[in-house]
Amino acid sequence: MGLCCTIEEIAFTKKLFLKFFPCFFVQAREYLQLERQFMDMGFSSEKIKEALLLTNRNQSKALEVLMANS
């Protein structure tokens, strides 16, 4: 099965998405950065996801949750 869109259409869609929903990009980047930091500390991806969602991506609170549950 081939691509459903051209590269130009994908780029245009991305620009529109970022124009109307820029906070999602920022939140996703924040989440991934924190996830990488916690994974480097040895925590599992699943536990990190739970802690970050529970604390609304608050780094220090998420670390407290992770440490309390390890």
Give tens-digit pLDDT for 11-52. 777 777 677 767 787 888 888 899 999 999 999 999 999 999
Query: What is the helix (H) or strand (E) element at residue 30, kind and residue range?
Result: helix 22-40
What per-residue confidence (pLDDT) applies to 3? 53
What per-residue confidence (pLDDT) applies to 42? 97
Q: Is this model's pTM higher than 0.85 or not? A: no
What letter would DSSP give residue 4?
S
